[in-house]
Amino acid sequence: METLEFFTLVWNALKKSDPSTKLFLVKRLYTNLVQERLTFDHESAVMKCENPSYERILQIVEPHEVPKRKHLNTKEGQAVLLHAIAHIEYSAIDLALDSAYRFRQMPVEYYIDWIEVANDEVRHFTILNELMKKIGVTYGDYPVHSALFDAGKRSGCDVLHRMAVVPRYLEAGGLDANPKIVEKLYSYPRDVFLSEIIDALKLILREEVSHVSKGDRWFKYEALKRGIDEDVYFKIIKEYYPDFEKRKVKLNISARRKAGFSCDELRRMGAKECD
C-alpha cells in the first residue's frame, strides 16, 4: 500500500487556487489521514504562504469595498450574502490547512483536528456554492477581502497566537454573527430558497462550534505546556486587535460555552449573564 507524506499533501492542497482541485485534494488528504496511510516528516522545510491561494481567481479589495450584505429578501442580496459566507468558508479551508502545515512537533491529534476542520469547511463551501449556482452566481463574481488570510499570516509564527486569534477570536465571532443573520432571514416571508439558506447557516453554526472547541483545546494545551496562565488570551488578542474589548456585540453565550469559553472570559467580553 502506498505511503504518503502528510505535510507535502497539506502544502499541495493549501497552495491550489482552483476550488474544485483544492476541495478534491482536501477530501483525499482527509481520507488518507483517517485510514492511517500517512507519514509525518516533521523535519521537512516549512514553505511560506505569502499571498492568498485565491488571489489568481478572485478580485481582492479592502474590507470596506466588499458589497454590503443587505436586502436579504432579494436575489441580489442573497447572492451577496452567500458569496460572502462562501468566501469565509473557503478562507477557513486554507487557515485550517495552514494550521496543520505550519506548526511541527505537535501531537498527531492536533493534525487530525485541523484536517477534520478543513474537511468540514470543504463541505460548507460546497453547500453554499450549490446554493449560489441556483441563483446564477459563481464564486468570484463579487470582490472579496483577505482579512482572514492576513490574520492567519500575522499569527503564523506561534501556535499559541494562531489558536487564540483564528479559532478563539475570529471563528468565535462567527458564532455570534450567524444567529443574527438567521434571525434577519426569518423576518422575511418564507420561500423554499430562503429556507435552504437558513438550513445551511444552522448547519454551519453547529459545526463551527466544534472548530472553535478544537482551537480552545490546543490553545489551552500550549498554554499549559509553557506554564502560562490562560488569561494570556486577552493579552494576545489585544496585541492584534487593540480595540477588541470596546466591541459591543451580542455574544452567543450557549455556543461559546460549548466551545470552551469560561464564564469569567465571557463576562470580561461583556456578557451580563452566564452559567
What single-letter DSSP state applies at residue 190? P
Cβ-contact 135, 78 below 8 angstroms: yes
Task: Choose among 226, 183, 220, 222: nearest CA to 201.
Answer: 183
Q: What is the pTM of this model?
A: 0.96
Plot region of 158 (φ>0 → left; ψ -120 to 50 → alpha; else → beta): beta
What single-letter DSSP state applies at residue 53? G
Give the three-class secondary structure for 117.
Answer: helix
Extract the C-alpha cell encoding 144.
Answer: 472579496
Beta bridge partners of 38: 4
What ranges do the domains of the chain cover? Answer: 4-268
Per-residue pLDDT at 49: 86
Extract the C-alpha cell encoding 85.
Answer: 459566507
Q: Cell 499569527 identifies what position?
A: 155
What is the residue-level pLDDT of the chain in tens, covering all 275 positions? Answer: 455 899 999 999 999 999 999 999 999 999 999 999 999 999 999 998 899 999 999 999 999 999 998 989 999 999 999 999 999 999 999 999 999 999 999 999 999 999 999 999 999 999 999 999 999 999 999 999 999 999 999 999 999 999 999 999 999 999 999 999 999 999 999 899 999 999 999 999 999 999 999 999 999 999 999 999 999 999 999 999 998 877 778 899 999 999 999 999 999 998 888 87
What's the fold here for domain 4-268? Ferritin (1.20.1260)
Q: Cell 470580561 identifies what position?
A: 268
Interatomic CA distance for residues 141 and 237, integer angstroms: 33
Phi, psi (deg, nearest 5) at residue 255: -65, -40
Interatomic CA distance for residues 249 and 270, integer angstroms: 8
